């Protein structure tokens, strides 16, 4: 009976724990591992001493995520080509707490913002996630991290400064995003160079993530002309039977390409003032496993 109750309480808070872990790590598998470890800690804990299960579980999850982030950051230094976060179905991102603004909560899960957060130290990232995405007071964050409140405020200030320096600009209107995504797909699939150039900002860039396990650029491609020519070239070599669908990933509109019944490529666009500024392409098969059923 106690085990059933422990499971019920944990499952109630699982979405927010996954949301914290994913924002910390940018990988679905890593986030799920952290949440599973949090469950093991919870099931073995003396729960009679826990007055606030949610606070306890967020604290455990955050600390585990910090440890995991320190491990994976060293591995990313040897990653083949650019590194992008793993695409996440929006419904798997967890629910925004009442204390957080929905727009900010969504912004912190976008590919662009997660890329910016890669520049933060594990502690800075934890403070930023808990403060900006979940609206935690500094005092509660200090308890989570076992740090003084003054130290937490300093971490928050540094994190905000780093994020503001690299904060991406993009339109969040889903209808506008979808329209431009559909036009982008039509132009790329039709090998329409002029059509792509009309959609791309002059300083557009393309960031591809394959991890060396699929074909994708090993360096960022910059300028509208180079991005458009690359896309046209890829379209000309596209395998017959590739199917595209539009869905919501990381709080925004995305393209998912299936080949042979399996997810092959995710494409997501950053749009500013009606022009595409960044094309994100994820082809590392390890990062597409969670989209198999999409």
Query: Could you list the pLDDT tens digit for every one of the 294 residues in the chain?
Result: 446 888 899 999 999 999 999 999 999 999 999 999 999 999 988 877 888 999 999 999 999 999 999 998 888 888 999 999 999 987 544 445 444 445 566 788 899 899 999 999 999 999 999 999 999 999 999 999 999 999 999 999 999 999 998 877 766 677 888 999 999 999 999 999 999 999 999 999 999 999 999 999 999 999 999 999 999 999 888 778 889 999 999 988 999 999 988 999 999 999 988 899 999 999 999 999 989 865
Range of the domain at 227: 174-291
Instruction: Give yes or no: residues 149 and 33 share one domain.
Output: yes
Q: Tell me, what CATH number does 191's domain have? A: 3.10.450.50
> What is residue 173's predicted lDDT score, i.e. its pLDDT?
76
Encoding tokens for residue 188?
């790329």
CB 172 within 8 A of CB 252: yes
Euclidean distance between CA atoms 238 and 226, whole angstroms: 18
Same domain for 54 and 118, yes or no, is yes
pLDDT for res 203: 96
Looking at the fold, whether 12 and 150 belong to one and the same domain comes out as yes
Burial of 57 (0-12, 13-18, 19+ CB in 10 A): buried
Query: How much is the pLDDT for 101?
Result: 47
Shared-domain flag, residues 162 and 263: no
| 243-249 and 252-259 beta bridge pairing | antiparallel
Domain's final residue, options 166, 182, 202: 166
Beta bridge partners of 259: 262
- Residues 62, 141 contacting (CB under 8 angstroms): no
Angle at 30 between CA 27 and CA 32, to 5 degrees: 105
How far, in Å, CA of 175 to CA of 148, rounded? 44
Provide the whole-model pTM: 0.89
For residues 241 and 178, membership in a common domain is answered with: yes
Question: CA-to-CA distance for 106 and 250, rounded, in angstroms?
Answer: 8
pLDDT of 294:
59
Residues 101 and 141 in one domain: yes
Instruction: Indicate the SS3 state at residue 11.
Output: helix
Residue 279's SS3 state is strand
Count of beta carbons in the 10 Å neighbourhood of residue 130? 26
Q: How far apart, in Å, do the first and last CA atoms of the chain sit?
A: 36
Residues 68 and 141 in one domain: yes
**Do both 211 and 119 map to the same domain?**
no
Do 78 and 199 share a domain, yes or no? Answer: no
pLDDT for the residue numbered 187: 96
Structural domain tally of the chain? 2
Q: Are residues 160 and 34 in the same domain?
A: yes
Q: Beta strands 262-272 and 275-282: pairing type?
A: antiparallel
Q: Per DSSP, what are the bridge partners of residue 209?
A: 282
**Residues 246 and 157 placed together within one structural domain of the fold:** no
pLDDT for res 105: 66
Strand positions, DSSP E, the chain: 200-209, 221-222, 243-249, 252-259, 262-272, 275-282
Final residue in a domain of this structure, among 120, 137, 166: 166
List the beta strands (DSSP E) in 106-199. none
Q: In terms of domains, do 144 and 286 share one?
A: no
Last-in-domain residue among 166, 200, 225: 166
What confidence score (pLDDT) does residue 293 get? 63
| Whether 31 contacts 22, CB under 8 Å | yes
CATH number of residue 7's parent domain: 1.20.140
């Amino acid at each position: 009976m106690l085990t059933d109750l422990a499971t019920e309480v944990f499952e109630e808070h699982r979405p927010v724990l996954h949301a914290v872990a994913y924002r910390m790590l940018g990988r679905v598998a890593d986030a799920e591992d952290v949440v599973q470890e949090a469950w093991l800690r919870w099931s073995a804990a003396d729960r009679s001493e826990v007055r606030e299960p949610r606070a306890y579980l967020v604290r455990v999850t955050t600390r585990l995520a910090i440890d995991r982030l320190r491990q994976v950051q060293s591995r990313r230094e040897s990653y083949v080509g650019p590194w992008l976060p793993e695409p996440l179905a929006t419904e798997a991102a967890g629910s925004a707490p009442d204390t957080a603004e929905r727009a900010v909560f969504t912004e912190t899960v976008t590919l662009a913002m997660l890329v910016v957060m890669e520049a933060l130290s594990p502690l800075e990232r934890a403070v930023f996630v808990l403060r900006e995405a979940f609206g935690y007071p500094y005092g509660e964050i200090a308890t989570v991290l076992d740090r003084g409140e003054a130290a937490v405020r300093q971490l928050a200030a540094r994190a905000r400064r780093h994020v503001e320096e690299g904060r991406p600009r993009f339109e969040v209107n889903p209808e506008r995003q979808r329209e431009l995504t559909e036009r982008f797909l039509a132009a790329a699939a039709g090998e329409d160079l002029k059509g792509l150039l009309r959609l791309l900002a002059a300083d557009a860039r393309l960031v591809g993530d394959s991890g060396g396990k699929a074909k994708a650029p090993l360096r960022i491609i910059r300028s509208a002309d180079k991005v458009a020519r690359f896309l046209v070239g890829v379209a000309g070599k596209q395998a017959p039977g590739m199917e595209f669908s539009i869905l919501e990933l990381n709080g925004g509109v995305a393209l998912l390409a299936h080949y042979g019944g399996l997810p092959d490529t995710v494409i997501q666009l950053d749009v500013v003032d009606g022009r595409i500024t960044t094309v994100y392409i994820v082809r590392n098969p390890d990062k597409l496993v969670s989209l198999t059923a999409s």
